[in-house]
């Protein structure tokens, strides 16, 4: 985790700490809660004018971080009380916890497993509004679901992602003939039967040369060339598929798998322009190492722009293309092949998140941001004013964060 003196001052002066005791399924009292507990939440900025609904987070606790447990957690509107929480077994983690709709009813969903973002092993869970498990969703065709996405579609199917290790001939880009690679796989799953209704594999549609990730020093070290991290339906029915390590969001046909357009990366379908006051990153692009493209309608989109992949990488963009992470909002015009960066929402403490993150636009126009590997959750007004800012302890973060009405 990165540290910052401004953050330390905020914590010392403005923090209101809430010790969030874990509530077992069914809503028993805090006094009856098992140990260990979910991590405490520190509210740095609180404004009553935030959007309606409770906060949904999935705190991941790095090993050796006190007595806290990883799991899923619903916090009250102001972030100061725990509405419900559920810890996962030691050695596992949870991700992408949110409220969704399944067969016309509100449900809670999350992914649970090990190895998020690598050759992970896990499943998706669906709980009803009485906190009872009603379905378990697995990837098909011999793959295992990864926690980057678990989304129920309007057709009551599930979109899941997986990673698979393959061997590829990379001599055309200066690599070995037998390089181990990690491909990204999108599947649409029929929830009751587990049948795979649609499958898309990155290497079938995207050249390895499009990757921004440097080749490893050994052919036996898997090259995470694509790093699939999101899939969601666009407003026209296409699937928006996002790849961190190609710096690209793809619009994909849910029937044929064909790519209709690409934004970002080395082969963008759009000429990039900016509204007054907006800036591209040092590579001349909207985003780098990004996550979570979200369609807003009328050609508008948001993307969580990490702008960093951490010190573990080398080569272009290894540390950062900008010195802070942000959320970018832009408009696409497929007719003229132009993309316009309209506004950006910067990390309040000027920090970069080397991994993870999301941005949710609420009905009132507010923007809820989970800052990924940084231990922060924020909410901004439509004008960009910071309305809510909260922090987990050092060594704890949430892959995504949301706000939903929940009863």
- pTM (predicted TM-score): 0.90
**C-alpha–C-alpha distance, residues 148 and 401, integer Å:** 13
pLDDT at residue number 26: 36
Number of separate domains in the chain: 1
Q: Give a yes or no: residue 27 inside a domain.
A: no
DSSP-derived secondary structure letter, 18: E
**Taking a C-beta distance cutoff of 8 angstroms, is the pair 236, 303 a contact?**
no
pLDDT in tens, 197-214: 999 999 999 999 999 999
Q: Is residue 166 part of a domain?
A: yes
Q: Is the dihedral of CA 218, 222, 225, 229 positive or negative?
A: negative
Q: How many CA atoms lie within 13 A of 406 on its CB side?
A: 24
Question: What pLDDT score was predicted for residue 65?
Answer: 67
Strand order in the sheet with 259-264: 228-233, 239-243, 248-252, 259-264
Predicted confidence (pLDDT) at residue 304 exceeds the cutoff of 50: yes
* Assigned domain for 336 exists: no
Domain for residue 159, yes or no? yes
Containing structural domain, residue 100 = 95-228
Give the model's confidence band at 17: pLDDT under 50 very low, under 70 low, under 90 confident, else very high.
Answer: very low
Q: What is the DSSP letter of 6?
A: H
List, for residues 96-147, the tens digit of each pLDDT value: 999 999 999 999 999 999 999 889 999 999 999 999 999 999 999 999 999 9
In a domain, 325, yes or no: no
Helices then strands, counting H and E runs in the chain, come out as 1, 27
CA dihedral 307, 313, 315, 319 (to 10 degrees): 40
Residue 263 has pLDDT above 80, yes or no: yes
**String of b and e for 68-96 (b: at least 16 CB within 10 Å)?**
bbbbbbbbebbbeebbbbbbbeeebbbbb
Residues of the chain with pLDDT > 70, as a percent, come to: 88
| 384: pLDDT strictly greater than 50 | yes
Residue 30 has pLDDT above 90, yes or no: no
Residue 286 forms part of a structural domain = no
Tell me, yes or no, whether 363 lies in a domain: no
Q: Please indicate, yes or no, if residue 207 is contained in any of the structural domains.
A: yes
- When pLDDT is averaged across residues 374-402 and rounded to a whole number, the result is 96
């Amino acid at each position: 985790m990165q540290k910052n003196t401004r953050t330390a001052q905020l914590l010392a002066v403005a923090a209101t700490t809430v010790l969030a005791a874990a509530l077992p399924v069914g809503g028993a009292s805090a006094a009856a809660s098992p140990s260990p507990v979910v991590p405490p939440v520190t509210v740095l900025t609180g404004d009553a004018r935030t959007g309606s609904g409770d906060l949904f987070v999935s705190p991941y606790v790095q090993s050796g971080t006190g007595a806290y447990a990883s799991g899923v957690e619903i916090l009250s509107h102001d972030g100061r009380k725990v509405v419900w929480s559920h810890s996962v077994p030691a050695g596992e983690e949870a991700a992408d916890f949110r409220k969704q709709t399944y067969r016309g009813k509100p449900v809670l969903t999350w992914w649970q497993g090990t190895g998020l973002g690598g050759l992970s092993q896990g499943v998706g869970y669906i709980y009803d509004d009485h906190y009872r498990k009603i379905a378990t969703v697995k990837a098909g065709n011999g793959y295992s679901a990864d926690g980057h996405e678990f989304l129920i579609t309007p057709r009551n199917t599930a979109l899941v992602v997986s990673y698979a290790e393959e061997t590829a001939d990379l001599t055309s880009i200066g690599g070995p003939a037998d390089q181990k690679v990690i491909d990204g796989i999108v599947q649409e799953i029929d929830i009751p039967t587990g049948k795979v209704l649609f499958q898309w594999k990155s290497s079938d549609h995207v050249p390895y040369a499009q990757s921004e990730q440097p080749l490893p020093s050994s052919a036996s070290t898997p090259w995470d060339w694509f790093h699939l991290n999101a899939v969601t339906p666009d407003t026209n029915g296409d699937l928006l598929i996002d790849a961190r390590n190609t710096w690209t969001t793809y619009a994909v046909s849910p029937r044929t798998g064909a790519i209709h357009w690409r934004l970002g990366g080395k082969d963008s379908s759009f000429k990039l322009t900016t509204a007054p006051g907006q800036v591209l990153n040092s590579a001349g692009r909207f985003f780098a190492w990004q996550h979570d493209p979200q369609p807003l309608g009328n050609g508008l989109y948001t993307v969580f722009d990490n702008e960093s992949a951490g010190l573990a990488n080398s080569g272009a963009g290894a540390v950062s293309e900008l010195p802070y992470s942000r959320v970018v909002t832009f408009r696409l015009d497929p007719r003229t092949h132009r993309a316009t960066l309209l506004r950006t929402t910067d990390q309040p403490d000027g920090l970069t998140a080397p991994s993870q993150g999301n941005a949710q636009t609420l009905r009132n126009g507010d923007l809820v941001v989970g800052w990924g590997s940084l231990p922060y959750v924020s909410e901004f007004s439509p004008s960009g004013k910071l309305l809510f800012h909260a922090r987990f302890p050092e060594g704890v973060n949430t892959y995504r964060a949301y706000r939903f009405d929940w009863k």
